[in-house]
């Protein structure tokens, strides 16, 4: 039984497949040997890059299935083709904020009745721990909780993947807010810079996600991505860069009250970003709680050789 279970391919549908994390999840699922389906939505219109991305997935062996959030039956039909559904809908204010669209997916999964696991779009801070979060950024967590409640109320088996800062947004820039590149001369340090943060390469997040899909150990569990070597303070991250470049940066420490000082005057996406940075770098919301080995991705899947941040930062030299 165990052997045939392992050789049996898991069929997975990725929704939001052309997005930032979605495209990585598609590739990781294919690499893991899952029979991978990708939802193609009519809203793609004239977005040539997304169309080309879909064609590239097809070339790698993915199957394209049409479906729309405005056509419930098309979603039900798409969902009926697979065992597992992974959603990678965007939930950040400066891109598209689509978290609640997933409620339509929950309805379709509920009606189809065949799905063995649903992974909603999470991949960041753990929503049930963020009830105190600052508005408007808090909306992201409230909406993710709404989706979780719908999943659990419908009795749909799930895995929630949480717990790391995307390296492209938080590591390459040494956690500076308005750039994605390392600063050349000066760096802002949040507080004393000694709060532990978790960083992860987005491709590694996708690899861990692909491995959880048919793992009985992760059924109805929250899996935290917290690779031990990537649990670093901001100061440690800056020091890695200084060591690689042989150049010391001028550091400015920003007190919490100064960091939040003019938040009301900012545009909504910026306010949301400030709030999230505050919870990560001042409160330490990613590392202020214990995570057991059975719920931490790098200990569940030691075969994934995750990218350490010194290797990641070398890309910018």
Q: Which residues are catalytic?
A: 144
| Residue 229, H or E segment | none
**DSSP secondary-structure letter at 10?**
P
The CA–CA distances, whole Å, from 103 to 41, 100, 138, 195 equal: 16, 6, 18, 35
d(CA 275, CA 294): 30
Tokens of residue 225, six digits:
């991505």
Burial grade of 264 (CB within 10 A; 0-12, 13-18, 19 or more): exposed
Phi-psi region of 163 (alpha: psi -120 to 50; beta: other; left: phi over 0): left
Closest CA to 242 of 311, 177, 184, 175: 184
**Does residue 160 contact residue 119 with C-beta atoms inside 8 Å?**
yes
- DSSP states of 233-256 as a string? EHHHHHHHHHHHHT-PPEEEEE-H
d(CA 225, CA 208): 8
Longest CA pairwise span in the chain (Å): 61
Closest CA to 17 of 122, 90, 97: 90
Alpha helical stretches, state H, the chain: 2-7, 22-31, 48-60, 72-79, 102-112, 138-153, 167-170, 202-212, 234-245, 256-259, 268-277, 297-300, 309-314
């Amino acid at each position: 039984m165990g052997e045939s279970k392992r050789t049996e391919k898991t069929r997975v549908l990725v929704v939001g497949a052309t997005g930032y994390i979605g495209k990585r999840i598609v590739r990781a699922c294919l690499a893991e040997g899952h029979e991978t389906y990708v939802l193609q939505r009519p809203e793609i219109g004239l977005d040539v890059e997304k169309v080309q991305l879909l064609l590239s997935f097809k070339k790698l062996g993915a199957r394209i299935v049409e479906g729309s959030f405005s056509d419930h039956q098309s979603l039900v039909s798409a969902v009926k083709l697979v065992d597992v559904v992974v959603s990678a809908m965007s939930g950040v204010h400066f891109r598209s904020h689509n978290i609640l669209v997933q409620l339509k997916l929950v309805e379709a999964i509920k009606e189809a009745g065949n799905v063995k696991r649903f992974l909603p779009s999470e991949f960041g801070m753990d929503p049930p721990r963020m009830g105190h979060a600052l508005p408007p950024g808090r909306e992201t967590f409230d909406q993710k909780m709404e989706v979780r409640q719908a999943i659990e109320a419908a009795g749909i088996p799930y895995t929630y993947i949480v717990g790391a800062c995307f390296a492209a947004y938080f590591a390459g820039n040494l956690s500076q807010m308005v750039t994605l590149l390392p600063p050349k001369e000066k760096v802002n340090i949040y507080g004393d810079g000694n709060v532990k943060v978790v960083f992860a390469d987005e491709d590694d997040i996708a690899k861990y996600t692909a491995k959880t899909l048919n793992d009985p150990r992760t059924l109805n569990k929250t899996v935290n991505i917290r690779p031990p070597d990537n649990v670093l303070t901001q100061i440690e991250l800056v020091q890695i860069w200084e060591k690689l470049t042989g150049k010391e940066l001028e550091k400015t420490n920003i007190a919490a009250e100064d960091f939040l000082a003019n938040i009301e005057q900012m545009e909504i996406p910026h306010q949301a970003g400030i709030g999230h940075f505050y919870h990560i770098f001042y409160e330490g919301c990613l590392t202020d709680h214990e995570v057991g080995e059975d719920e931490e991705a790098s200990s569940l899947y030691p075969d994934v050789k995750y990218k350490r941040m010194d290797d990641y930062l070398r890309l910018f030299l």
